[in-house]
Amino acid sequence: MLKLGIIGATGYVGAEVVRLLSLRKDIEITTVVSNSFVGQPFSSVYPSLRGLFDKPCDALDIEQIAQKADFFITALPHGVSTGVIPALLAKGKRVIDHSADFRFRDVKVYEKWYKASHPAPELNSEAVYGLPELYRDKIKAAKLVADPGCYPTCCILGIAPALSKKLISPQGIIIDAVSGISGAGRKSELPYSFCENDDNFKAYGVANHRHTPEIEQELTAIAGEEVIISFTPHLAPMKRGMLATSYLTLTEKGLTTQEANELYKEYYKDETFVRVLPVGQLPETKFVTGSNYIDISVTVDPRTNRLVVVSALDNLGKGSASQAVQSLNIMAGFNETEGLLAPALYL
């Protein structure tokens, strides 16, 4: 029985991890750490879990919680993880961190975009970027896995096949993406209130969203040359769900949608959670919300010689919590798909 602690458990990502694991027989959540709800039953914070996970929340006391678990999933704000994770690693724990703190191999990029100095840069070279489809083998043995951002997961998996197969130019990539409101976390701030978001659509972070360099890091690694992208995130009035539309310049003329589709299917043929849709079908977030799947379609636009990739996932699923569980399964030597196969609710 794997013993797992969750730190930052009462945010939406943490709570989704609890939901995903609440019925697992091979994993026991031994501690849920929360800043705001110490001593309160987890199910009083998330009554959906009443009778399923009633354990009270613990305070963040590394000594105490280190005794309770061997693995930790941390879902803390950026800049906070760095204060917690070195201590856990020092005690031999294995950690999956959902902050951005350990996602960047070049700490300077992190420091520039996150406007903060990084207190533990040495850990970044050790940390593995937790995208199983790209780094499965490294995750297996990792002590520290940096769970990718939601936008990066959605965009990188959508572009990787075309880029790695040199179908497209690494230059001029434009990604226009949309997230449900839960991407901001469990926030009690006016911009995330119901009335300000219902029936409303907006762009944000134009030309400066922090997921931009994370996407660029991975696309650069795939392309073997520097990739600079235009990336614009938007907020749609829905709780969960993310969809990215990527505009990619084809390197040669004449490629058909059918051919692009087959190349994508071939690329992902062993990946359970990446579903390349048949030609003519486009992703919708309701096909994936609540699940660990990502759906991808490819369309060649011969008029502009571009490949338009649409990819969709659940920002709380493959975009964060269930992807963290996927990495946990890999690290622990479980079947990678254990507990993660359930389909989206659709409605």
Q: Which residues are catalytic?
A: 150
Name the one range near a copy of itself by CB under 8 A: 10-18, 81-89, 130-138, 142-150: 10-18
Q: Furthest-apart CA pair in the chain: how many Å?
A: 63
10 Å Cβ neighbour count for 275? 18
User: Is position 50 an interface residue for a copy of itself (rule: CB under 8 A)?
Assistant: yes
Q: Please tell me the number of Cα atoms within 13 Å of 237 on its side-chain side.
A: 9
Q: What is the DSSP string of 291-343?
A: SS-EEEEEEEETTTTEEEEEEEE-TTIIIIIHHHHHHHHHHHTS-TTTTT-PP
Name the one range near a copy of itself by CB under 8 A: 86-94, 121-129, 135-143, 302-310: 302-310
User: Is position 55 an interface residue for a copy of itself (rule: CB under 8 A)?
Assistant: no
Helix (H, G, I), strand (E, B) or coil at 109: helix
Tell me which H or E stretch contains 3.
strand 2-7
User: Is position 304 an interface residue for a copy of itself (rule: CB under 8 A)?
Assistant: yes
Nearer Cβ to a copy of itself (82/289): 289
Q: Considering only residues 197-226, where is the footprint of a copy of itself by CB under 8 A? A: 197-204, 206-207
Nearer Cβ to a copy of itself (127/175): 175
- Distance between CA 185 and CA 106 in Å, rounded? 26
Q: Considering only residues 234-253, where is the footprint of a copy of itself by CB under 8 A? A: 234, 236-241, 243, 245, 247
Q: Considering only residues 162-201, where is the footprint of a copy of itself by CB under 8 A? A: 172, 174, 176, 178, 180-182, 186-190, 192-201
Nearer Cβ to a copy of itself (82/292): 292
- Distance between CA 163 and CA 171 in Å, rounded? 10
Count of residues engaged in binding a copy of itself, rule: CB under 8 A:
90
User: Is position 38 an interface residue for a copy of itself (rule: CB under 8 A)?
Assistant: no
Question: C-beta of 90: minimal distance to a copy of itself in Å?
Answer: 34
Helix axes 150-164, 257-267, angle to 10 degrees: 110
Question: C-beta of 342: minimal distance to a copy of itself in Å?
Answer: 6
Question: C-beta of 29: minimal distance to a copy of itself in Å?
Answer: 13
Q: Considering only residues 15-34, where is the footprint of a copy of itself by CB under 8 A? A: 15-16, 19, 22-23
Structure tokens at 77: 């704000």
> Is-contact 83 60, C-beta < 8 A?
no
- Distance between CA 74 and CA 7 in Å, rounded? 5
10 Å Cβ neighbour count for 292? 25
Question: C-beta of 63: minimal distance to a copy of itself in Å?
Answer: 31
Nearer Cβ to a copy of itself (5/213): 213
Q: Considering only residues 270-299, where is the footprint of a copy of itself by CB under 8 A? A: 272, 275, 277, 281-291, 293, 295, 297, 299
